[in-house]
Chains A and B, each alone.
Chain A
């Protein structure tokens, strides 16, 4: 069974604070690491797909780093805003044979930004 762990489970921050959270995944047989944002009453939305060790991706105030050797990725949000309130999910594609992959999701970090 593949373990994709996210911490913390939930986080409350004040508007304007910067924050970060962690995704841990198996360091062997790495193919890619996905980050998604899931706002209440909406669909999960892709943030990043990261593939290279040392990769850093950025979208506005959100950025992510990747360490495939030690099996973790960090997601950073700079100057949190109430609209950043959401559950942030990471997902690890596990190879399941014949060129196909199965996305295994962590349970997410639920971020609440207090105005």
Chain B
């Protein structure tokens, strides 16, 4: 079974631009979550999608948004990029949403904002 895939793997953008990251979950997984990893903060929850609906959002500004498609694929968008948005963005999928379901992570997208 193919794992979680994320594209692109690396991205360099300048301040003020916007970016869209893509995530394809494991086949049959219906829940997709996004996380931001920065050296000082560790893994921080961005949002969770299930059945094309955002179920949960972490403590991030409105510049961070996302969506989920009917095939469970998900995208996240960051508008008006700031230097502090430079981070590793990880996507994770699980069979269903819920506290007992382990998450399967993708390889991440490394975003650098200059």
A-side residues, CB < 8 A to B, are 31-32, 34, 36, 42-46, 49, 51, 89, 91, 93, 95-96, 98-108
Contact B99–A44 (Cβ < 8 Å): no
* Cβ-closest chain B residue relative to A6: B42
Q: Which of B12-20, B61-69, B105-113 contacts A (4 or more CB under 8 A)?
A: B105-113
* 13 more A-B residue pairs beyond the given contacts A89-B43, A105-B42, with a C-beta to C-beta distance below 8 A: A32-B100, A36-B105, A43-B107, A43-B108, A45-B105, A49-B100, A51-B100, A100-B55, A102-B45, A103-B33, A103-B45, A104-B45, A105-B43
Docked CA distance A104–B44 (Å): 7
Given contacts A102-B45, A102-B56, A103-B33, contact A44 B98 (CB under 8 A): no
Contact residues in A for B106 (Cβ distance below 8 Å): 43
- Give complex CA distance A98, B54 in Å: 12
Q: How far is the CB of B44 from chain A (nearest CB, A)?
A: 8
Of the residues B99, B104, B107, contact of A32 by C-beta under 8 Å: B99
B4 at the interface (CB under 8 A from A): yes
**Of B3, B99, B102, which one neighbours A46 at CB under 8 angstroms?**
B102
Task: Give chain B's interface residues, CB within 8 Å of chain A.
Answer: 3-4, 33, 35, 42-45, 48, 55-56, 58, 90, 92, 97-108
Q: How far is the CB of B93 from chain A (nearest CB, A)?
A: 11
The answer to whether residues A101 and B97 also contact, given A106-B42, A107-B42 and a CB cut-off of 8 A, is yes
Given A89-B43, A107-B42; A102-B105 close (CB under 8 Å): no
Point out the residue from A31, A100, A105 that lies within 8 Å of B56, measured CB to CB: A100
Using Cβ atoms and an 8 Å threshold, which residues of chain B touch A93? 99
- Do B42 and A102 touch (CB < 8 A)? no
A residues in contact with B103, CB < 8 Å: 34, 36, 44, 46, 103
Asked if A46 contacts B58 (CB within 8 A), the reply is: no
Between-chain CB contacts (< 8 Å), 14 pairs: A32-B100, A36-B105, A43-B90, A44-B105, A46-B103, A89-B43, A98-B55, A99-B97, A100-B56, A101-B56, A101-B98, A101-B99, A104-B45, A108-B42
CB-CB under 8 A from A101, the residues of chain B are 56, 97-99
| B56 contact set on A, CB distance < 8 A | 96, 100-102
